[in-house]
């Protein structure tokens, strides 16, 4: 299974006081560079960064090896950014796209690895893993795969299924934090056309994930799952 990471960093950040793609941690690392690093360390083969507002400045903070996707229609809302990013990710030959917003600077690579491992298991959305199928079942099964001492919902990379490409291309996986949906999310490329048709305005893929039975993996033992809306 080939995974492409996608960092959503095109927004103007009106409540934040400027584009979050230009923000930095207390130690000086750009959020966008941190997001790229976490996606790579979490198992993504390629990483793309979708930029829009003050795009040239944000692109200047993207580390080498990651590609920049310009989103001319970024002001149309989050849907335009997701649409452009997903198209570009599919063009890399990826089987799945791992999506994170740039405003999650505390996101650990372990959360990325957990949802990627779940997708690697080849469980397509809707195949006994609907939105109402229960987080507990996913967490229990994943914990068993990881072995004793693993955190809730944890799955291992090498031991998490066969990595069947056909199955992974139909995957939909979403991280949960105390039962609350969050990021990362994993979207198999077979969903691209239907997802594009469903995207509207300033909303991302959340409704699509819920309606199409995304597999939900608890990651609250790894971090809070909170994004940063204000400075």
Q: What local confidence, expressed as pLDDT, does residue 154 receive?
A: 40
Mean of pLDDT values over 50-54: 98
Residues 81-94 have pLDDT tens digits of 999 999 999 999 99
Residues 123-151 have pLDDT tens digits of 444 333 333 333 333 433 333 333 333 34
Q: What local confidence, expressed as pLDDT, does residue 122 receive?
A: 46
For the chain, list the domains and their CATH numbers: 3-218 (3.90.550.10)
- Residue 155: pLDDT band (50, 70, 90) is very low
- Residue 229: pLDDT band (50, 70, 90) is confident
Residues 180-210 have pLDDT tens digits of 999 999 999 999 999 999 999 988 999 999 9
Inter-CA distances, 221 with 66, 105, 110, 175, 216, Å? 29, 17, 10, 11, 14
pTM for the whole thing?
0.82
Nearest CA to 137 out of 215, 213, 207 is that of 215
């Amino acid at each position: 299974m080939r995974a492409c990471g996608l960092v959503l960093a095109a927004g103007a950040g009106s409540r934040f006081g400027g584009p979050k793609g230009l923000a930095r941690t207390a130690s000086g690392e750009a959020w966008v560079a941190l997001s790229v690093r976490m996606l790579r360390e979490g198992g993504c083969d390629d990483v793309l960064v979708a930029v829009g507002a003050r795009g040239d400045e944000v692109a200047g903070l993207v580390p080498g090896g990651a590609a920049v996707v310009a989103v001319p229609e970024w002001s149309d809302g989050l849907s335009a950014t997701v649409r452009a990013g997903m198209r570009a990710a599919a063009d890399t030959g990826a089987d799945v796209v791992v999506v994170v917003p740039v405003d999650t600077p505390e996101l650990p690579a372990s959360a990325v690895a957990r949802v990627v491992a779940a997708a690697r298991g080849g469980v397509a959305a809707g195949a006994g893993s609907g939105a109402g199928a229960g987080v507990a079942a996913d967490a229990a099964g994943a914990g068993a795969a990881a072995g004793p001492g693993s955190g809730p919902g944890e799955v291992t990379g090498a031991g998490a299924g066969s990595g069947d490409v056909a199955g992974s291309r139909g995957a939909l996986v979403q991280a949960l934090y105390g039962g609350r949906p969050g990021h990362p999310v994993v979207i198999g490329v077979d969903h691209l056309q239907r997802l594009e048709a469903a995207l509207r305005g300033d909303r991302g893929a959340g409704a699509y994930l819920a309606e199409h039975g995304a597999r939900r993996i608890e990651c609250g033992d790894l971090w809070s799952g909170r994004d940063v809306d204000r400075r």
